[in-house]
């Protein structure tokens, strides 16, 4: 968090007398909004729209959860005057900054809390295209399609090192001094690399289900979502890894997941590609009790959600609100918002193609 100088606040006030949108909310304590062309409220949600592969139409939308600002289809383009790039892969919030990997453009972009680009780095062909990120202790850890995990200084974006894991690493998460990276292996991999962040070396390799992709941490446990086989024989197992015992246990089945306060929220979207029809169900896994509750956690959900393809899920840890992103793959997607108790709040257009993740700044 940083505090704004009185001089900067005075300039903003003076400029507002001349034009309505020339200054941001830059004098609010805790926000890094320098260079913003729009005034944003204190509570903010940023939606990463992946776009279409090779479509160069990735973007970031802005949504005001408290309803005190207008939706912005592509705040990145609004703030920076250009498109984000090809295939937005991942977005994280760390220390009030936003970090975005753009897979098709081989970029990692750092934004301030208003979506203004501060810096970016390019990955070489040898390093490989960036996939997913996690952050801890001033470092950003990125999986690269070259079969490596790279450590990057979060402040300067300086590349500080690279460790070999396995083919096609995907999801990554940090917990208690270790980074866990899933190795998809181009569809045939079945391992998770455990990296010691102090030595930045692979401490161990754990066997998991075939083609692991998504990962998260809850209550000291690591949860892994895999395809579970070759196309079209996907089973989508969700496994729990206990770092203390080394045990891997299947706990559920899902195609997407998110976590908050010891509850894993799960969505299973089953699509029949011969008819292009989708059936989606929702469930939860309680990490503390070890119970998979296959009754939907949603109340009064719009009927069309049961036949929509869930492309991503995120939870606002501030209040437990659940955001479910759906996609038709070629047009703008939708976002459904629910309270922690499952009650329906709102549905709104995502602003771009293939919405996959929502991050929050407040």
Residue 32 binned pLDDT confidence (cut-offs 50, 70, 90): confident
Residue 66 binned pLDDT confidence (cut-offs 50, 70, 90): very high
Local structure of residue 187 (DSSP, 8 states): G
Whole-number pLDDT of residue 29: 56
Measure the CA–CA gap between 282 and 117, rounded to whole angstroms. 36
Q: CA 203: distance to chain centroid?
A: 26
Buried b (16+ CB within 10 A) or exposed e, 161-191: ebbebbebbbbbbbbeebbbbbbbbeeebbb
Measure the CA–CA gap between 248 and 141, rounded to whole angstroms. 24
Q: How does DSSP assign 303-334, residue by residue?
A: GGGGGSEEEEEEE-TTT--EEEEEE-SSSEEE
Partner residues linked to 279 by β-bridges: 270
> 2 pLDDT exceeds 60?
no
Q: How high is the mean pLDDT of the chain?
A: 93
* 238-297 pLDDT tens trace: 999 999 999 999 999 999 999 999 999 999 999 998 999 999 999 999 999 999 999 999
Whole-number pLDDT of residue 47: 99
- Residues contacting residue 327 through CB under 8 Å, at least 6 positions apart: 309, 311, 333, 353, 354, 355, 356
CB 123 within 8 A of CB 108: yes
Whole-number pLDDT of residue 181: 99
- Residues contacting residue 20 through CB under 8 Å, at least 6 positions apart: none
Measure the CA–CA gap between 272 and 252, rounded to whole angstroms. 21
Local structure of residue 275 (DSSP, 8 states): T
φ and ψ of 75, to 5 deg: -70, -25
> 176 pLDDT exceeds 80?
yes
The mean per-residue pLDDT over the stretch 110-129 comes to 98
Whole-number pLDDT of residue 265: 99
> What is the C-alpha end-to-end distance of the chain, expressed in Å?
11
Measure the CA–CA gap between 297 and 315, rounded to whole angstroms. 13
> 24 pLDDT exceeds 50?
no
The mean per-residue pLDDT over the stretch 328-344 comes to 97
Share of the chain above pLDDT 90, in %: 90
Partner residues linked to 60 by β-bridges: 48
Whole-number pLDDT of residue 3: 34
> 331 pLDDT exceeds 60?
yes
Q: How many CB atoms lie within 10 A of CB 160?
A: 12
Question: Cα separations (Å) of 239 from 183, 221, 268, 296, 339?
Answer: 15, 10, 15, 20, 26
The mean per-residue pLDDT over the stretch 66-72 comes to 98
Whole-number pLDDT of residue 177: 98
Task: Parse the chain into domains and list their residue ranges.
Answer: 254-353
Whole-number pLDDT of residue 28: 53
> 147 pLDDT exceeds 70?
yes
CA-closest candidate to residue 88, choices 130, 125, 142, 120: 130
CB 320 within 8 A of CB 260: yes
Q: CA 259: distance to chain centroid?
A: 12
> 112 pLDDT exceeds 50?
yes
Can you tell me which residue has the tokens 């899933």? Answer: 182
Whole-number pLDDT of residue 269: 98
* 197-241 pLDDT tens trace: 999 999 999 999 999 999 999 999 999 999 999 988 999 999 999
Whole-number pLDDT of residue 5: 36
Measure the CA–CA gap between 2 and 6, rounded to whole angstroms. 13
* 306-327 pLDDT tens trace: 999 999 999 999 999 999 999 9
- Residues contacting residue 276 through CB under 8 Å, at least 6 positions apart: none
């Amino acid at each position: 968090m940083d505090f704004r100088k009185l001089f900067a606040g005075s300039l903003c006030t003076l400029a507002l007398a001349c034009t309505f949108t020339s200054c941001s909310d830059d004098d609010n304590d805790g926000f890094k909004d320098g260079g913003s062309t729009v005034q944003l409220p204190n509570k903010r949600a940023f939606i990463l729209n992946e776009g279409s592969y090779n479509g160069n139409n990735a973007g970031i939308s802005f949504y005001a959860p408290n309803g005190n600002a207008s939706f912005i289809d592509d705040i990145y383009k609004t703030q920076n005057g250009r498109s984000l790039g090809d295939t937005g892969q991942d977005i994280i919030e760390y220390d009030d900054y936003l970090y975005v990997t753009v897979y098709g453009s081989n970029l990692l972009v750092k934004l301030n809390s208003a979506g203004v680009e501060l810096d970016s780095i390019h990955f070489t062909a040898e390093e490989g295209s960036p996939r997913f990120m996690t952050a801890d202790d001033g470092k950003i850890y990125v999986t690269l399609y070259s079969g490596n995990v790279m450590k990057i200084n979060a402040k300067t974006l300086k590349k500080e090192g690279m460790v070999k894991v396995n083919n096609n690493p995907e999801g990554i998460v940090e917990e208690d001094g270790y980074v866990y990276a899933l190795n998809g292996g181009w569809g045939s991999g079945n391992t998770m690399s455990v990296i010691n962040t102090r030595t930045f070396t692979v401490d161990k390799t754990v066997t998991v289900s075939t083609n692991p992709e998504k990962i998260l941490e809850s209550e000291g446990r690591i949860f892994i979502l895999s395809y579970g086989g070759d196309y079209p024989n996907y089973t989508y197992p969700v496994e729990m890894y206990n770092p203390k015992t080394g045990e891997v246990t299947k706990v559920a089945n899902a195609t997407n997941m998110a976590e908050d306060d010891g509850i894993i929220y799960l969505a299973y979207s089953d699509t029949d590609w011969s008819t292009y029809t989708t059936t989606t169900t929702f469930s939860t896994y309680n990490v503390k009790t070890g119970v998979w509750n296959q009754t939907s956690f949603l109340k009064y959900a719009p009927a069309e959600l049961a036949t929509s393809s869930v492309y991503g899920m995120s939870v606002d840890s501030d209040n437990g609100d659940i955001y479910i992103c759906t996609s038709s793959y070629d047009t703008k997607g939708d976002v459904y918002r629910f309270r922690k108790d499952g009650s329906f709040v709102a549905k709104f257009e995502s602003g771009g193609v293939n919405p996959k993740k929502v991050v929050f700044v407040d």
